Structure 1
Amino acid sequence: MGKGMWKQFLNKLPRKSSSSKPDPNSGSGLARSVSDTSNGPNGGTACAPRSSASSVKRMSSAVFPSSLVAGIEPLVSFKDVPNSEKVSLFISKVALCCVQFDFTDPNKDSTEKDLKRQVLLDLTEFVGSGVCTRFTESMIAASCKMFAINLFRVFPPSYRAGSGSSSGEAEEEEPMFDPSWPHLQLVYDFLLKFIGSQSLDAKLGKKYFDHSFILHLLDLFESEDPRERDCLKTILHKIYGKFMVHRPFIRKSVSNIFYRFVFETERHNGIAELLEVFGSVVSGFAMPLKEEHKIFLWRVLIPLHKPKGLGIYLQQLTYCVSQYVEKEPKLASSVILGLLRYWPVTNTQKEVMFLSEMEEILEATNMVEFQKCMVPLFKRIACCLNSSHFQVAERTLFMFNNDHIISLVAQNRQTLIPLLLPSLERNARDHWNQAVLNLTINVRKMLSEMDEELFSECEVQFKEEEERSTELEERRRLAWDRLESAAAYQPVTGKTAVLVGLS
């Protein structure tokens, strides 16, 4: 059934008398008669009036295949037919919605678009009303076909940003809005109501909401319209909850999207939404965690810290990782070491993000796990304290306002204060930013009060190391001076070897 059949159907409906002056903006006779009668719930045209239902029904067999509509005119309202005919009317309405239109031109096929819009609203209202206690297999099959025809499509390649764009640049891009969204939203609303309905039997529905349907649905997360991705996020979550048999396949398919993003393209529009879905999935994992779920953490979530566009999905990623640590605290040290492996030593924006995530993970870390990773962790923190980028140094110093982190440091002060003090001393002496200087003095004072004797010993040791470093630097300078003098008075020719001692 195509657009021509729509027009044929509209032209066969009763029109106003010839004496009436036609309205050029009102479209076909059906649109005029409908708009004269009532309006839809959202400002659209309502269903055909009850008085014209009999004339409409007589011609349905000439326009629509009888196998689809079963003698029921699709524009009739559900309330105008007995319960025994509601299933047939549902299927005929769904079949009518399989016709597609061009939404880039708002003036093209406007009458047909309005009618399709009203039919979709009728279907959504019918599904949500619960009148049908159980969807038949024919209803499910017809609906899945309509969803596929209207939603599943291939997106054109995007050239909005180069492959080397930073996370900051990616966040500044204006979102792209699909001109067909008002229509797509109606289809998504119907799909969401349909899947969430108690009338949809999971055992029957899994045959049609199958692996192929799920893969095509996941492909739609590439949409540049954030409104569509938000709808897809909710629908995917509903499918995951409804069809338990498909859960392993969904997890595997989403993992493959993440793998491709991290290790190949670093380009995908729906990473944040997919991670948001998986945040709910992870929170529902049973204890103890299965090996499959731990592999997802090591091979997917931790490597997701690598791409440049981390800032777009950091919040959702941090939530997923934190859920793992809260569920199984033994994973904390491995997670922290994994983050250190991907630490962005040349990207200060990402470094600030890593510090924020590290603080959140440390809040859920117990003493046993902390001691497994505290030395490499605080070596990295010490480097961040001395960062010439004030935001990195400032964010690192703010971590010492966290009571749990201070408690961990205090109980391991014999190991950690010697790692931190040299960086604090250098900051207090040399850092250019006044805010960093003030914070450094406060943290230094706090560590001093934590253990004055240990702090004094570390200060003495630091001064001795500074003196040794100064002495070594001076010896190195003198050695170079002797080398330059020797070269000036006795130029090296050929392959003559010159031995310069450092003593």
Structure 2
Amino acid sequence: MFNKIMKRGHRKVAKSDGTAVDYVCAPTGRSSGPVSTSNIVVNHASRGGPLPVSSQFQQLPATSGVVPLPGTIENLPMFRDVPVSERQSLFLRKLQICCFQFDFSDTLKMVREKEIKRQTLVELVDFIQSGSSKISETNQVEMIQMISLNIFRCLPPASHENTGSENIDLEEEESYLDPSWPHLQLVYELLLRYVVSSDTDTKIAKRYIDHSFVLKLLDLFDSEDMREREYLKTILHRIYGKFMVHRPFIRKAINNIFYRFIYETERHSGIGELLEILGSIINGFALPMKEEHKLFLVRALIPLHKPKPVAIYHQQLSYCITQFVEKDYKLADTVIRGLLKYWPVTNCQKEVLFLGELEEVLEATQAPEFQRCMVPLFRQIARCLNSSHFQVAERALFLWNNEHVVSLIAQNRNVILPIIFDALEKNIQSHWNQAVHGLTVNVRKMFFEMDAELFEECQRQYAEREEKARELEEQRELMWQRLAAAAAAAQEG
């Protein structure tokens, strides 16, 4: 990726419109210490529009203690062209250029200045990645501040907010591409290179990449630009790995995002990416698993099956859930009962997803946990077998293609076959789909081969129930005939 950035960095600089503008970064009195981002507003609850631009580009407030650059934005010398002793000073001046925020709504304005900033960002990324010179703590402070000024911003209104409609299918929404991405990408790349660099001292960096910084990063996961979310995912994962002190805080903050999504908004662009990070985190949990992690499973992950747009992030969610069961097989009963609690009633596509996830969970389930939940589980599977939507019925029948699931069923056939026998017989007699009919015949034959005596007993009981049902229907029909005759006689009289 960096090679691509560098190739783009050597394109010919476009000429500006010839307007000479005097833009200067505002000086402040801070030269070191923790980064203060109190002047940066990140309001994602309302997702306000972009900040007003009073000039051709917006000058962000700087907290740098360096002397501001006079005059117009001009190219500075490259790092390799100055003595080593002057590179820290040059680094600071380049950071200062990158504190300017441009208006990208008009591609023809400030073309030259935009290209200078882009090229400067490329040089900063290269400087950090090369490790040729360890940057001073003061420069680290200013770099984190510059990054904050660029990435922590009000996200544009979501597409459903633009239309005023709450019924837009999130899966069908067109992907949003941020026009400022040519600069944003390089800022994110700079942050990533800083976090992963072996020269970065975590004891120093954690003063500036603090809880406030992490929270603002998490806010940005609601960006509709997939490219931005991918960078955020990688960066947050690296922060989690490098800054152990932040780990409980990051997990709790993600937890809170999930709660708000589940119980309030049901709208968030970055649930899938956050779950991808969690999948890796869960994989690293030590055993025996902490109670905190089990509560996270019950209170956040399992309820994530409830929101309507679950299909968008279901693959990542299913992976996280399965990781928990593989880590601690005793959680299988909790997970399966949780799936049954949120089982969709009218959404057939969600049912297909749930059945797929259920198979993955059952594959990691041991016999004792299976026995605890098999009765409610197979009552639900029986309903799926009789679904008029052929994909639901077919996916339920595919469970019998899994050897581990079949072995669990075989061990408990005395309980399971009586629960689903009626559903199998109804499919054979009346299901409209030929594929479902054929799969049902195969499953029925499998049960017969497992235990012919049990199968014949279930068949006998089914025949008795059918006979009783016919007798009741005949009695009901006879009663209606008598009532009709009595009513007719009363009219004639």
Cα gap change, 1:46 to 1:247, in 2 (>3 Å): farther
Number of residue-to-residue matches in the alignment: 435
Pair 1:192 & 2:192 matched: yes
Distance 2:26 2:6 in 1: 24
Distance 1:451 1:473 in 2: 33
Deviation at 1:63, TM superposition (A): 9.3
Which structure 2 residues correspond to residues 301-320 of structure 1 after superposition, within 5 A? 301-320=301-320
2:326 touches 2:364 (CA, 8 Å); kept in 1?
yes
Pair 1:375 & 2:375 matched: yes
Query: Which amino acid in 1 is paired with 2:8?
Result: N
Deviation at 1:356, TM superposition (A): 0.4
Pair 1:68 & 2:59 matched: no
Query: Which amino acid in 2 is paired with 1:130?
Result: G
Cα gap change, 1:443 to 1:40, in 2 (>3 Å): closer
Match of 1:336?
A: 336
Deviation at 1:472, TM superposition (A): 2.0
Deviation at 1:201, TM superposition (A): 1.0
Match of 1:406?
A: 406
Unaligned runs of 5+ in 2: 14-23, 28-63
Match of 2:224?
A: 224
Give the number of the structure with larger relative contact order, counting CA–CA contacts within 8 Å between residues 6 or more apart: 2
Deviation at 1:490, TM superposition (A): 5.9
Pair 1:469 & 2:469 matched: yes
Query: Which amino acid in 2 is paired with 1:263?
Result: Y
Query: Which amino acid in 2 is paired with 1:163?
Result: E
Distance 1:75 1:69 in 2: 15
Match of 1:44?
A: 10
Deviation at 1:482, TM superposition (A): 4.0
Distance 1:413 1:481 in 2: 44
Instruction: Please identify, of 66-75 and 239-248, the stretch whose mean Cα deviation from structure 2 is larger.
Output: 66-75
Q: Per-residue displacement from partner, 1:22-47 (whole Å, max 9, x unpaired)?
A: xxxxxxxxxxxxxxxxx964243699
Deviation at 1:476, TM superposition (A): 3.0
Query: Which amino acid in 1 is paired with 2:209?
Result: F
1:348 touches 1:389 (CA, 8 Å); kept in 2?
yes
Match of 1:35?
A: none
Match of 2:78?
A: 77
- Where 1:267 maps in the other structure, the secondary structure is coil
1:70 touches 1:88 (CA, 8 Å); kept in 2?
no
Distance 2:378 2:215 in 1: 44
Distance 2:264 2:344 in 1: 19
Match of 1:103?
A: 104
Match of 1:260?
A: 260
Instruction: Please identify, of 227-236 and 71-80, the stretch whose mean Cα deviation from structure 2 is larger.
Output: 71-80
Deviation at 1:473, TM superposition (A): 2.5
Distance 2:84 2:314 in 1: 51
- Where 1:302 maps in the other structure, the secondary structure is helix
Which structure 2 residues correspond to residues 308-457 of structure 1 after superposition, within 5 A? 308-457=308-457
Match of 1:10?
A: none
Deviation at 1:484, TM superposition (A): 4.7
Distance 2:450 2:401 in 1: 14
Deviation at 1:172, TM superposition (A): 2.4
1:46 touches 1:118 (CA, 8 Å); kept in 2?
no
Instruction: Please identify, of 415-424 and 307-316, the stretch whose mean Cα deviation from structure 2 is larger.
Output: 415-424
Distance 2:335 2:372 in 1: 11
1:74 touches 1:96 (CA, 8 Å); kept in 2?
no
2:137 touches 2:204 (CA, 8 Å); kept in 1?
yes
Pair 1:113 & 2:111 matched: no
Which structure 2 residues correspond to residues 87-236 of structure 1 after superposition, within 5 A? 87-133=88-134, 135-160=135-160, 162-165=165-168, 169-236=169-236
Deviation at 1:71, TM superposition (A): 10
Distance 1:219 1:488 in 2: 74
Q: Per-residue displacement from partner, 1:182-234 (whole Å, max 9, x unpaired)?
A: 21111111111011111111111111111111111111111111111111110
Deviation at 1:64, TM superposition (A): 9.4
Instruction: Please identify, of 298-307 and 104-113, the stretch whose mean Cα deviation from structure 2 is larger.
Output: 104-113
Cα gap change, 1:71 to 1:309, in 2 (>3 Å): closer
Query: Which amino acid in 1 is paired with 2:381?
Result: I
Which structure 2 residues correspond to residues 272-283 of structure 1 after superposition, within 5 A? 272-283=272-283
Deviation at 1:252, TM superposition (A): 1.1
Q: Per-residue displacement from partner, 1:314-370 (whole Å, max 9, x unpaired)?
A: 000000001100001100011000000000021111001100000010000011111
Distance 1:485 1:63 in 2: 98
Deviation at 1:439, TM superposition (A): 0.9
Deviation at 1:132, TM superposition (A): 2.5
- Where 1:477 maps in the other structure, the secondary structure is helix
Deviation at 1:159, TM superposition (A): 3.8
Unaligned runs of 5+ in 1: 1-38, 48-61, 492-503
What is the root-mean-square deviation of aligned Cα atoms in Å? 2.3
Distance 2:174 2:339 in 1: 30
Distance 2:373 2:401 in 1: 21
Distance 1:462 1:42 in 2: 73
Q: Per-residue displacement from partner, 1:72-115 (whole Å, max 9, x unpaired)?
A: 99712111223332222212211210011111211111111111
1:44 touches 1:114 (CA, 8 Å); kept in 2?
no
Deviation at 1:181, TM superposition (A): 1.1
Instruction: Please identify, of 247-256 and 325-334, the stretch whose mean Cα deviation from structure 2 is larger.
Output: 247-256
Sequence identity (%): 58
Cα gap change, 1:63 to 1:214, in 2 (>3 Å): closer
- Where 2:312 maps in the other structure, the secondary structure is helix
2:175 touches 2:225 (CA, 8 Å); kept in 1?
yes
Distance 2:200 2:152 in 1: 22
1:74 touches 1:92 (CA, 8 Å); kept in 2?
no
Distance 2:6 2:314 in 1: 42
Distance 1:70 1:181 in 2: 26
Query: Which amino acid in 2 is paired with 1:260?
Result: R
2:69 touches 2:93 (CA, 8 Å); kept in 1?
no
Match of 2:44?
A: none
Q: Per-residue displacement from partner, 1:224-252 (whole Å, max 9, x unpaired)?
A: 11111111110110111111111111111
Instruction: Please identify, of 82-91 and 256-265, the stretch whose mean Cα deviation from structure 2 is larger.
Output: 82-91
Distance 1:357 1:226 in 2: 25
Distance 2:239 2:170 in 1: 30
Deviation at 1:485, TM superposition (A): 4.8
Distance 1:64 1:485 in 2: 98
Distance 2:6 2:273 in 1: 33
Match of 2:53?
A: none
Deviation at 1:171, TM superposition (A): 1.8
Deviation at 1:486, TM superposition (A): 4.9
- Where 1:100 maps in the other structure, the secondary structure is strand
TM-score, with normalisation over the residues of structure 2? 0.84
